[in-house]
Structure 1
C-alpha cells in the first residue's frame, strides 16, 4: 500500500475506523515511511490533547469540587434526599458519539493543515492566513489599565471587641446583632490565625499569604494575609495589594467599605513587638495570577509576594476557619445575601469541625449554631 501525507486513510487509521486488514496495511506503510510516522505521531498527540480537554483520561476533582460534593452530600443526608444515578449513567453514554465526532473533526483538521497552500493567484487559502487574529490595538481592554485602581494599601489596625458584642447579642439577648456590632476584621483578629503558604521576612517582621477558593463565590478566591511585627521592637510597616490588571476583574477587602482619597492610602502603621494583623481579600479573576503583595519596613522595600492561585492546593485549617469567620460575619451583616445564607454558614462550620478543636474555635462553632437558630 502506498500512502501520502494527506491520505484520508491516515485519519481513519488514527481513529480506529479501518477494517483489520486495511489497518494492518496502513500500519506497515507508516512504519516504512518517516514522513508518515511524523504525521501520525503529531495527529495522535493532537487527539490526546483533545481527549483531555473534552474530559477523557483519569477523572480528578479539585479541592473546591470535593468541598462542594461533601457539602451537598451532607445536605442531602440531612433532608433525606436520595439521588438515583441511572440518569447520570445514561447521560454519560450520550456523550460517546459526539466525543468521537469531535475527535474525528479535530484529527481531520490537523491533517488538512499539513496540505500546502495553493501557490500563485489561485483560490486556495492556507490554514495560517485563514485564522489571522485581529491586531492587539484592535482588541479592547477587558479591564481598566489605571494602576491606582488596582492597588489597595492595607490598614494594619483593628480592634477585637466585635466578637464579644456578637456573643452578648446571641447568647444573652437572644437576637441577631446589628450590622454596626459586626466587624469582620475584629472577628478575624480575635483568633491566632496564620497564613503560611507564602512568607516574606524583613527586619524581623513577617508577611504571609494563603489563597483558597471562595466558598460562596465559585469564581472567586480568598487571600488570607498575615502581618506580624518584629520581636525586638516597634517597626513602621506598609503593605499594599497590587492586582494584576490583565487578570483581576474585581477585588475587595472584606469588612471594609470602599475607600477613596486619603482613606484609600492609609499611612504606614507602627507595629508593636509581636503584634499581628489579619486581613482577607476577596478577588475575582480570569486566571491564577491575582497580583502581588508589596510591603516595606521602616521605609525600606521588602521582598514582595506573588499571589498565584493553585487549584490543587488544599486549604490549611487556619484558612478554612478564616473563611468561616468571614462568611459568618458577612451573613450577620446581611451582605452577599444571594449566596450566603444559613445553609452555607452551617456548611462552612461543618468543614472546620473536628476532634480536638482548641476551646476558642469550639466556642465559635457553638456561637454560629446558636445564631443560626435565631432565624
Structure 2
C-alpha cells in the first residue's frame, strides 16, 4: 500500500476506525516507513493531549444545577447537525475542531474559576434569567391586625414582562455607580402576622462586591450591595431539607441567628423544576411566640407593592427572614400555585448551606453599615470557620480582604 503521512487513512488507523483488512495494510505500510511512524506517533500524541484536555472533571453543586436547568430547556433550543457519510475523516480537520473545543473549555473553566457561583444566565426575568441591574420588587409586610388567612390567598396577577433589565451584564461586570438604582435601607423589625415574599431575586450583587474588592481593591458602593442577592447566590440543599409541591421544590429551614443571641434566621427557597412557568405566591407567617421581638426580610430593595408572581422554569429564589426572638416554632411558609396551597412548617436545618447564606447576608449588612460592625463581622467569621467547599471558602477570604481594606482606610 502506498501511503503518505498526510493520508486520512493514517489518522483513521490511529483512531481505530478502519476495517480489519485495511488496518492491517496500513500497519504494514507504517512498519516499513520511518516517516509514517513519526506521523503516527505525532497523531497519537495530539490525541492523548486532547483526551486529557477534554476529560470531564467533577462538577460543583452549582454546575450540576446549571446542567439540570439546561436539560429542562425546550427541545426547540436543540440544534441537530448533519452527520457526514464519508468513511474516513481527515485528521487535520478533527484536530483543529477538537483544539478549538479544548481552548473554549479552557477559557470557560478559567472564567468559571474567576467568577463565583452566582455567574448565571444574564437574561431578563421574563426569559428565566436570574441577574439584573434593576432591583426586583421587595417584600410586602402585612401587619397582624390586617393580615388575612395565609392559606386562602388568591393568586396575585403577574407583572407583564417583569422588571426592566439589560439584555447582557457579562460585558459590564462592574456597572457604573451612577447607573446603579438606589437601594433602600434595611427595614426595621416589625410586628407582623405575615410577610409576602419576593418571587424573583437577582444574584448579580455578589459578582459586583467581589469585583470591587478584588479588581479595584476598594469597598463597593452601597447601592451595589443588595443583601437579598448576596444570600441568593448560595442556594440551600437541592434535595435534603426540601419538599415537592405542584412541580416546585420548596425549602423552609431555620437556625440560630449569627448576630442576635435570642433571634433566629429562617431560610425559604422555591425552585421551579418543571418545563413551564408557574404562577406562584408565597408568604411566611411567624409563629405567635416569634413575633414579639419583630420580623423582617433581609433585603435592600423597596418594599412597596406586590412581588411578581410568575416563576420561570429553572428559576430558584432564596430569601432570608430574621426573627429578633423566637421560642419554639419559628413559623410556616405558605406556597400557592395552580389553585392549590400548602403550608410548610420551618424545620431546624442540619445542613451548613443556610449558615453560608446567612454569613454573606451578614457581610452585606456590614458593607452597608446596617447593624454589624467590624468586630461583630470578625466574630461571625471566626465562628463560621473554614469550609472545604471552594465557593464558601472563597467568600470567607473575600470578607477578610474587605475587612483589611476597611482597616487600611482608618
Indicate the TM-score class for this superposition, using the shorter chain for normalisation. Answer: 0.5 to 0.7
Contact in 2 for aligned 1:210/1:223 (Cα 8 Å) = yes
165-174 or 210-219, which moves further after superposition? 165-174
Aligned partners of 2:250 and 2:270 also within 8 Å: yes
| Contact 2:255–2:266, Cα closer than 8 Å, also in 1 | yes
Match of 2:80 in 1: none
Q: CA deviation at 1:367?
A: 0.9
Deviation at 1:236, TM superposition (A): 1.4
| 1:1-375 equivalences in 2 (<5 Å) | 145-147=145-147, 149-194=192-237, 199-245=242-288, 247-249=290-292, 250-256=294-300, 259-260=303-304, 263=305, 265-268=306-309, 270-285=310-325, 287-298=327-338, 300-307=339-346, 315-336=350-371, 340-354=372-386, 356-358=388-390, 360-375=391-406
How far, CA to CA, are the matches of 1:306 and 1:351 in structure 2?
28
Distance in 2 of aligned mates of 1:144 and 1:323: 26
CA contact (8 A) 1:237 1:296 kept: yes
User: Given the superposition, is the C-alpha separation of residues 225 and 184 from structure 1 closer, same or farther in structure 2, using an over 3 Å criterion?
Assistant: same
TM-score (normalizing by structure 2): 0.49
Q: Deviations over 1:313-368 (max 9, x none)?
A: 575210111121110010000001xxx2223323333344445322x222212111
Over the aligned positions, Cα root-mean-square deviation in angstroms equals 2.5
Contact 1:158 1:186 in 2 (8 A): yes
Distance 2:328 2:302 in 1: 24
Deviation at 1:170, TM superposition (A): 1.4
Q: CA deviation at 1:163?
A: 1.5
Contact 1:234 1:272 in 2 (8 A): yes
Quick check: which has more Rg, 1 or 2? 1
CA contact (8 A) 1:195 1:226 kept: no
Deviation at 1:232, TM superposition (A): 2.9
User: How many angstroms does 1:235 deviate by?
Assistant: 1.3
3-state SS of the aligned residue for 1:206? strand
Distance in 1, matches of 2:330 and 2:235, equals 25
The gaps in structure 2 that reach 5 residues or longer are 1-142, 149-191
Could you give the per-residue CA deviations for residues 251-308 of structure 1, whole angstroms, max 9, x where no partner exists?
Answer: 1000145735xx1x3242x22223210110001245223321111113x223201236
Give the TM-score normalised by structure 1. 0.53
| Unmatched tracts of structure 1, length 5 or more | 1-142
Paired with 1:357 and 1:314, the residues of 2 have a C-alpha distance of 18
Distance 1:218 1:258, change over 3 A: farther
- Please give the alpha-carbon distance, in whole angstroms, between the structure 2 residues aligned to 1:280 and 1:156: 13
Q: Which residue of 2 aligns with 1:117?
A: none
Contact 1:243 / 1:290 at 8 angstroms: preserved in 2? Answer: yes
Q: Deviation at 1:176?
A: 1.4
Provide the C-alpha distance between the structure 1 equivalents of 2:349 and 2:342, rounded to a whole number of angstroms.
Answer: 25
In structure 2, the partner of 1:90 is none
Cα separation, partners in 2 of 1:222 and 1:159, compared to 1, 3 Å? same
3-state SS in 1 of match to 2:330 = strand
Is this contact kept in 1: 2:298–2:320, CA < 8 A? yes
Give deviations 1:117-165, integer Å, cap 9, x for gaps.
Answer: xxxxxxxxxxxxxxxxxxxxxxxxxx96443642121101122221122
Deviation, 1:213, is: 0.7
Whether contact under 8 Å (2:252, 2:345) holds in the other structure is no
Find the aligned partners of 1:324 and 1:256 in 2 and give their Cα distance: 16
| 1:173, distance to aligned residue in structure 2 (A) | 2.2
Count of paired positions: 220
CA contact (8 A) 1:185 1:255 kept: yes
- In 2, Cα distance between the equivalents of 1:372 and 1:330? 13
Partner of 1:79: none
